[in-house]
Amino acid sequence: MCKKIFSKGKTKTLYCTEHVDFLIMKFRDDISSKNGKNCSSIKQKGDVNNQLNYFIMNYLSKNDIPVHVIKLINKNQVLVKKLTMFPIEFVIRNRVAGSLSKRLHLEEGNIIKPQIFELFLKNDKKNDPMINESYCEAFGWISKQHLEKIYILLKNINNILIKLFSKVQLILVDFKLEFGLFKNNLTLGDEISLDCMRIWDKKTLKKMDKDRFRKNLNNIIESYKEVNQRLGIYDF
């Protein structure tokens, strides 16, 4: 397969393949916060995130969610469809945490009913500013029709993942998703891993995700591995 770099982000690298419609996504051991201002590396993190991402994407696909993941290549690489991505980050919040807690001075952990859906412009240099539907329409970032379809997908994905994690005594606090088009078909892209989700233990409320890095807590990779293991993923 071709090893030419298609694009490189803070924690993943996309490589071209011999087929113009497919890319190889490699999960690196890098970890970052504050839009890349705080960076480090954790051994095996790429393996753990890649396999969790593959597991969840495959699970969603079986539940009729269109995803870009095609197949697992090895421990830290996966074959994906080449999408034309929307420059929007979609955040779903089931409990108060992170920036929502800081922004509105709300107590962390409070259950949100109904869930909150937020939109952010994907732009690290501008610190991913919060936007709304009128911004999208005014600046042509995404059509109203695609946005309406994405909201339906977001609700379905949220319900599916809440049940999945609840079965293994985990709470899905919030998560970020990105979408794009593959041959004009709306498709879930990027990743679903502990780098873009908040997951807490149901009994202790222990943070099991990247907040351990953000808040300078210990046992980061151990917590990542534990989430995988609860879901039945053991091959690191």
* Number of domains the chain is built from: 2
Share of the chain above pLDDT 90, in %: 92
Are residues 153 and 43 both part of a single domain?
A: no
Report how far residue 69's alpha carbon sits from residue 55's, in angstroms, rounded to the nearest whole number: 10
Q: Residue 134: which residues within 8 A CB-CB, separation 6 or more?
A: none
106-125 pLDDT per residue, tens: 999 999 999 999 999 999 88
Query: For residue 229, is it within any domain?
Result: no
Mean pLDDT of 32-41: 79
- Per-residue model confidence (pLDDT) at position 32: 86
* CATH classification at residue 216: 3.30.470.20
Compute the chain's Rg from CA coordinates: 17
pLDDT at 33: 82
Domain match, 73 and 99 both: no
Residue 34 binned pLDDT confidence (cut-offs 50, 70, 90): confident
Q: Quick one: 182 and 70 in the same domain? A: no
Q: Please, is 230 exposed, middle or buried when counting C-beta atoms within 10 Å of its C-beta (0-12, 13-18, 19+)? A: middle
Strands (E), the chain: 5-8, 12-16, 22-27, 30-33, 38-41, 69-74, 77-81, 84-85, 88-95, 111-121, 130-131, 170-182, 185-189, 197-201
pLDDT tens digits for range 197-236: 999 999 999 999 999 999 999 999 999 999 999 999 987 6
pLDDT at 36 over 70: no
Per-residue pLDDT at 1:
47
Order the strands of the 69-74 sheet from edge to edge.
5-8, 12-16, 22-27, 77-81, 69-74
Q: What is the mean pLDDT of the chain?
A: 95
Strand ranges inside 133-193, DSSP E: 170-182, 185-189
pLDDT of residue 38: 78
Same domain, 110 and 193: yes
Partners of 186 in beta bridges: 181
Q: Verify that 94 and 172 share a domain, yes or no.
A: yes
Q: Are 144 and 70 in a shared domain?
A: no
* Tens of pLDDT, residues 67-100: 999 999 999 999 999 999 999 999 999 999 999 9
Per residue in 38-75, pLDDT (tens digit) is 789 999 999 999 999 999 999 999 999 999 999 999 99
Amino acid type, 105 = H
**Residue 35 above 80 pLDDT?**
no
Q: What is the pLDDT of residue 210?
A: 96
pTM exceeds 0.85 for this model: yes
What residues make up the domain containing 145?
Answer: 85-220
Domain shared by 118 and 44, yes or no: no
For residue 29, the model assigns a pLDDT of 97
